[in-house]
């Protein structure tokens, strides 16, 4: 989604501050100072700090879900497992490109705050639908226990969000664009290896 340069600068400044200080610990003045603009422009563009947050999260999720849908459409001729691996790569790449906002949103989701219930429930439901359908397709035609597959899906979802919840472990390991690109490549491959492993596993007996 395209924005004018000033508006985008405000969103980037707010994302950085929300990530560092939290939503309630960040003032409109803080955002304006970091963005190098007059406070009145934030009111003009977003009405309030809450309006800015809502705009940033909507922009984030709309672009995120669009990236998922594009990946699924472009790779629909591939085998289900390969479709899923491509999708995992797109998801990690997107979250890493928007690292600070990804971390902030994931932290808020883990708290089950009003922010989550009011702002992301629709987007999270759509994300779950797209990822779940793609995941279950890799077992199409294979007799497996439904509950077992649900647990495996939970594990994969956990891997998709772990880097954005465990900041102390990654803070000093990912520095600069090259390091981030290498992380995306290595972490995506790690999940791909795990997917290969679970697909080959025999059915767990009842």
Considering the entire predicted model, what is its pTM?
A: 0.87
Report the chain's mean pLDDT, rounded to a whole number: 87
Ordered structural domains, the chain, with CATH? 50-200 (1.10.357)
Whether pLDDT at 2 is above 60: no
Q: Please determine, for residue 93, whether its predicted confidence score (pLDDT) is greater than 60.
A: yes
HEC string of the chain? CCCCHHHHHHHHHHHHHHHHHCCCCCCHHHHHHHHCCCHHHHHHHHCCHHHHHHHHHHHHHHHHHHHHHHHHHHCCCCCHHHHHHHHHHHHHHHHHHCHHHHHHHHHHHHHCCHHHHHHCHHHHHHHHHHHHHHHHHCCCCCCCCHHHHHHHHHHHHHHHHHHHCCHHHHCCCCCHHHHHHHHHHHHHHHHHHHHHHHHHCCCCCC
65-74, 89-98, 106-115, 154-163: segment of lowest average pLDDT: 106-115
């Amino acid at each position: 989604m395209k924005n004018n340069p000033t508006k985008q600068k405000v969103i980037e400044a707010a994302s950085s501050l929300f990530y560092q200080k939290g939503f309630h610990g960040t003032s409109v003045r803080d955002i304006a100072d970091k963005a190098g603009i007059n406070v009145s422009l934030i009111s003009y563009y977003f009405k309030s700090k809450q309006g800015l947050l809502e705009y940033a999260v909507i922009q984030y999720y709309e672009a995120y879900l669009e990236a998922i849908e594009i990946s699924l459409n472009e790779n629909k001729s591939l085998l289900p497992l390969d479709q899923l691996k491509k999708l995992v790569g797109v998801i990690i790449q997107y979250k890493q490109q928007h690292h600070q906002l990804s971390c902030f949103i994931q932290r808020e989701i883990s708290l089950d705050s009003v922010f989550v219930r009011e702002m992301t429930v629709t987007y999270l439901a759509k994300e779950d639908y797209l990822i779940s359908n793609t995941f279950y397709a890799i077992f199409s035609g294979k007799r497996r226990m439904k509950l077992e597959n649900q647990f495996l899906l939970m594990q994969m979802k956990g891997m998709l969000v772990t880097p954005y919840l465990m900041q102390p472990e990654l803070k000093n390991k990912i520095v600069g664009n090259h390091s981030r690109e290498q992380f995306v490549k290595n972490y995506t491959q790690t999940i791909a290896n795990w997917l290969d492993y679970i697909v080959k596993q025999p059915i767990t007996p009842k």
